């Protein structure tokens, strides 16, 4: 039974926030964080919004001004991730195959930072949090921007709801849905 608990704990984020905008560079720097690996769809913008909003542009600018490197890591296709990332002048990894560790490790290598200096941010337990935890990073779960999702994400959300229900029952969650 401990093995089951250990596996379920890999789905548990280190932090939970309502929005990416709650993540401030001053707070990150205070904890020694110098880099962010972030998901794109439903984390930075709604999954069907092709470009960064003015608020996201400002968030990236503030992170840059504080010397915090940001890499967008998405399971989406190259065109989607490139079109979004290039105007932000930020590095990106597409077709990341999260939750596999490869993309997280690649982002870390590109940033030339230690694991302890990086946080992983995303809206999904099954890809962002699980992958970030398995790769050994501090993970932050954000509330999805919109409740609609693409086909595969809808499937993931059903599994996530069951995991969250189990975690709530075990007293492992510190936030409300």
pLDDT in tens, 91-111: 999 999 999 999 999 999 999
pTM across the whole model: 0.83
pLDDT in tens, 40-64: 999 999 988 989 999 999 999 999 9
**pLDDT of 177 over the 60 cut:** no
Give me the CATH topology for the region 14-146.
Rossmann fold (3.40.50)
The Cα-based distances of 88 to 63, 129, 146, 163 in angstroms read: 11, 24, 22, 34
Say which residue the tokens 């946080």 belong to: 119
pLDDT in tens, 152-162: 666 666 667 77
**pLDDT of 163 over the 80 cut:** no
**pLDDT of 71 over the 80 cut:** yes
CB neighbours of 1 closer than 8 A, spacing ≥ 6?
none
């Amino acid at each position: 039974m401990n093995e089951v608990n250990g596996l379920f704990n890999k789905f548990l984020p280190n932090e939970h926030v309502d929005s990416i905008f709650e993540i401030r560079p001053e707070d990150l720097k205070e904890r020694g964080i110098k880099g962010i690996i972030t998901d794109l769809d439903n984390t930075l913008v709604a999954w069907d919004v092709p470009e960064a909003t003015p608020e996201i542009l400002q968030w990236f600018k503030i992170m840059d001004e504080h010397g915090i490197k940001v890499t967008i890591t998405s399971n989406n296709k190259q065109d989607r991730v490139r079109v979004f990332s290039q105007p932000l002048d930020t590095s990106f990894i597409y077709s990341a195959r999260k939750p596999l560790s490869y993309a997280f490790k690649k982002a870390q290598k590109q940033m030339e930072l230690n694991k302890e200096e990086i946080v992983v941010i995303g809206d999904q337990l099954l890809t962002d949090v699980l992958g970030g935890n398995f790769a050994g990073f501090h993970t932050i779960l954000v509330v999805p921007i919109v409740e609609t999702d693409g086909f595969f994400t809808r499937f993931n959300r059903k599994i996530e709801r069951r995991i969250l229900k189990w975690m709530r029952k075990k007293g492992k969650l510190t936030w409300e849905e």
